Amino acid sequence: MVVLIGAYVASLFLVERGEEGYHTFWDGWLYTVATLLPVVALAVRARVDRALRTVWALLALGLLATWLADLAYTYHDVNLDDIPIPGLSDVLYLAAYPFWISGIVLLALRSIGDEYRSTLLDSVVTGFTVGAIASATWLDPLMVTAAEDGQVALSLAFACCDLLMVVVSVVALTPGVRRATPAGVAVLLAAAWFGLGDILYLNLVTRDAYHDGTWVDATWAIAVAIFGLAGWLRSTPSGPPSPPAVGLGRTPAIAALASLALLVVATWHRVAGLAVGLAAAALALALIRVLWTVRVLRRINEGYQQARTDDLTGLGNRRHFLERVDRLGTSGGPLTVLVIDLDGFKEVNDSLGHPVGDQLLVEVGRRFQGACTDRWVLARLGGDEFGLVAAAGEREATEVAHQLLATLDGAIELDGIPVRVSASIGISTSPSGTFRRADLIRTADVAMYEAKRTGAGATAYRPELDPRGLDRLALVDDLCRAIEERSFRMAYQPILRAADLEVESVELLLRWDHPRRGALAPGEFLVVARQAGLIPQITRMVVDQGLADLAPLWRTGARVGLNVNISADDLVDDSFADHVLSALERHGAAPERLTVEITETELASDLQRARRTLERLRAVGVQVSIDDFGVGYSSLSQLLGLPIDQVKIDREFLAALERDQRAQAIVRSTVELGRTLGLVVVAEGVESPASLAIVQRAGVDLVQGFLLELPAPIGSLASTLGRRAVRAGALDPVRLR
Ligand code: C2E
Ligand code: MG
Ligand code: MG
């Protein structure tokens, strides 16, 4: 096909056509055969391409009409001297257009989904405007001639049809309206070539300068060839569909403006009636298109809202929440997410039924909404879980969390039944610029579960809480191995008598030299150990090791005591006391030498069971010390009801001692409390001579801190004891001031 048409086009330039301008072989037979092949190509495509069968069939029929027209023309040319106007060939040429145009329109419709339909109007607006401008500037003067000259009138009709076809093709293929396909583009090009040929022809005919067999004839041949090629090309788009263009596109908007301009010009300048009509139609269509757009937008907006609203509570839903998190995350500042889970909701649902459960959720949602400012976006994430997000820091979020909790303080009346629920809130903040949505929500979840576990109400995320934290699992694995291999290191920090600074006892502080992470402080691995349930094993190991380390010293007659730190998990472990007692026995240690330290906060978590264990230990003579005293805010009366021997004032107060009168007052009142109840009062974290002086003056019994002795391995303990004993005799504590 390409070779034959190529040969024909070449002949137009190479083969002399003579006076008639017509060569029977080239322009008759070769042309006829060559242009039949594209018809065959399109017909074959119509048979194989099921999806676009009608489209290809229409295009093929159009092309067949032009082929027949050429044949008729050749027939006239060969057999008649005068070709009638209009002749059979002209009728056939014109007959091609309805096929082509309907084929192209169908192609466009087939490739445009329902949601794109409105964009077809855009193209019609553009097409009408092009038509209006063309008729005002170019067609109108020709019309005058056309009225007198049949030939001109005919070619004018061709040009108009071509123009229409080009416009329709552009309409169908406007980028952004739908995805252009190779076949579609080829059809457009073919239409454009036809148009070009007809326009050239029209211009020549009006000047009476057209002759057969010149290069102008090549344009039609090429157009037919391109049509044929389209039959071979892909008609399915390759990429994913682009989102539907909702608004009036730029091209139709410009077109509408041009139509308006043309109408304005028409008010003082004569413009062809056809042009005015087309321009007015274009404007009217543009207006319809805008109204249509408004309707579509409203529908989209409704759908958008619906898709982001929780039906039950009317709050935003999970999707809404995630989108808002993303949007706020781009603001650059800190971003905080709160995950709120109701406690006791399941019970309400199970016992009072789902409708009451639903009412409860609605009421809780209403209360939460009332408790936070507009800055916070509240959503129901599903079930009894709510989410809250704002570009805010952790402190502000914690305040909001407490406000939310406060809204659930009273009973909620549902169907006349008072119902009580509480909530657990997890808070996670991402510092400025480090936003990752999935992490933020997951860590807020982790914090929420921690809040649920501890009953704390609201808990802010800390990496130690995270059971799935980065290489947490690996860490748990390593911990198990370290316990098995007893590869921990024990550091001993002396606790001195405040009066003469002689060593009274040593506190065992656990160290872990991790194979890859280096030396880890207890704060870094004990939380993981707790979550993995490893605390009891660790404490037993610590007690054993401490007793084993000190036993040789005791055998030499040293009177130094041993303090070990224990956790809440040990106190609720009923066999813990037994283990300690048997270890004391095994190492031949007097129970009075051992002091267990438990922090105030841990003690408060299960007072009843703690009391039982502590009483058993104390019954045999083991001392009990409350560590980090003063920061736990636990009720003093509760603590004082416990069997204890010692309180260790938290080092936070020691750090503030020199500048803060309140810290001094707390130290003094703790000493007083100790005196009244017969407790030993320890000040830990003594770092400066000034604070040592203050606690000595306040009457603290024992002191501990980096100023006095650093935690050190057992090997150096004997020499420390000796040195201390010598120095204590010579040292006047007052000189340390
Ligand atoms: P703690 O029982 O209050 O131990 C005292 C902590 O204060 C130790 O930190 C110690 O190194 C540090 N310290 C001592 N003097 C000073 C001072 O003058 N200034 C300052 N800034 N700090 C001082 P460490 O070793 O990091 O232990 C932290 C906490 O880990 C301990 O607090 C204790 O609660 C816990 N812990 C340590 N060993 C064990 C253990 O074997 N078992 C359990 N369950 N907990 C342990
Ligand atoms: Mg301690
Ligand atoms: Mg402490």
Which residue, judged by its Cα, is nearest atom 45 of ligand 1?
565
Q: Please tell me the distance from the alpha carbon of residue 477 to that of residue 47, in angstroms, as a whole number.
A: 68
Ligand with the closest atom to the CA of 597: 2
Averaged over 671-693, what is the pLDDT?
Answer: 92
pLDDT tens profile 373-417: 988 999 999 889 999 999 988 899 999 999 999 999 988 888 888
pLDDT tens profile 130-175: 888 887 877 777 666 666 667 677 777 777 787 777 777 766 665 4
- Banded pLDDT at 521 (limits 50, 70, 90): confident
The answer to whether 116 and 289 have CB atoms below 8 angstroms apart is no
Q: Ligand 3: distance of its center to the CA of 709 in Å? A: 15
Q: Please tell me the distance from the alpha carbon of residue 71 to that of residue 91, in angstroms, as a whole number.
A: 13
Q: Ligand 3: distance of its center to the CA of 672 in Å? A: 20
Place of tokens 């989904």: 113
pLDDT at 425 over 70: yes
Q: Ligand 3: distance of its center to the CA of 668 in Å? A: 18
Instruction: Give whichever of 242-256, 356-370, 625-639 has the largest mean pLDDT.
Output: 356-370
**Per-residue pLDDT at 736:** 33
What's the one-letter identity of residue 38? P
Residue 713: other Cβ atoms inside 10 A: 12
pLDDT tens profile 27-80: 777 888 888 889 999 999 999 888 888 989 999 999 999 899 888 877 777 776
**Per-residue pLDDT at 19:** 64
pLDDT at 498 over 90: yes
pLDDT at 730 over 50: no
Q: Please tell me the distance from the alpha carbon of residue 119 to that of residue 249, in angstroms, as a whole number.
A: 8
Positive or negative: CA dihedral 223, 229, 231, 233: negative
Residues 6+ apart with CB under 8 A from 164: 97, 101, 127, 131
Q: Ligand 3: distance of its center to the CA of 714 in Å? A: 20
Is-cis flag, bond preceding 86, omega within 30?
yes
**Window from 254-268, 352-366, 718-732 with minimum mean pLDDT:** 718-732
**Per-residue pLDDT at 174:** 57
**Per-residue pLDDT at 237:** 62
**Window from 148-162, 187-201, 509-523 with minimum mean pLDDT:** 148-162
- Banded pLDDT at 176 (limits 50, 70, 90): very low
Q: Please tell me the distance from the alpha carbon of residue 220 to that of residue 198, in angstroms, as a whole number.
A: 8
Rounded (10°) angle between helices 472-485 and 535-555: 30
Which candidate, 17, 432, 501, places its Cα nearest to that of 215? Answer: 17
Percentage of the residues of the chain whose pLDDT score is greater than 70:
86
Place of tokens 């445009």: 112
Averaged over 264-269, what is the pLDDT?
Answer: 89
Q: Please tell me the distance from the alpha carbon of residue 643 to that of residue 142, in angstroms, as a whole number.
A: 114
**Per-residue pLDDT at 128:** 83
Burial of 3 (0-12, 13-18, 19+ CB in 10 A): exposed
The CA distances from residue 694 to 319, 467, 470, 589, 653, in Å, are 59, 43, 44, 35, 12
More confident: 471 or 575: 575
Residues paired with 597 in a beta bridge: 565, 625
Cβ of 565 less than 6 Å from ligand 1? yes
Place of tokens 């299960």: 606
Ligand 1 atom closest to residue 650's alpha carbon, by position in its atom list: 3
pLDDT at 734 over 70: no
Averaged over 567-573, what is the pLDDT?
Answer: 88
Which candidate, 36, 77, 87, 88, places its Cα nearest to that of 221? Answer: 36
**Per-residue pLDDT at 474:** 74
**Per-residue pLDDT at 61:** 94
pLDDT tens profile 228-264: 888 888 876 655 445 455 555 677 788 889 999 999 9
Cβ of 545 less than 6 Å from ligand 1? no
More confident: 474 or 725: 474
Averaged over 353-378, what is the pLDDT?
Answer: 92
**Per-residue pLDDT at 175:** 47
More confident: 611 or 427: 427
Q: What is the mean pLDDT of the chain?
A: 83
Averaged over 644-669, what is the pLDDT?
Answer: 88
- Banded pLDDT at 586 (limits 50, 70, 90): very high
CA distance from start to end of the chain: 109
- Banded pLDDT at 735 (limits 50, 70, 90): very low
Cβ of 509 less than 6 Å from ligand 1? yes
**Per-residue pLDDT at 363:** 94
Cβ of 567 less than 6 Å from ligand 1? yes
Averaged over 527-538, what is the pLDDT?
Answer: 87
Which candidate, 721, 613, 711, 703, places its Cα nearest to that of 667? Answer: 703
More confident: 10 or 339: 339
- Write out the two tokens for 248: 């009036």
Averaged over 212-228, what is the pLDDT?
Answer: 82
Q: Ligand 3: distance of its center to the CA of 458 in Å? A: 25
More confident: 535 or 524: 535
Percentage of the residues of the chain whose pLDDT score is greater than 90:
33
Cβ of 650 less than 6 Å from ligand 1? no
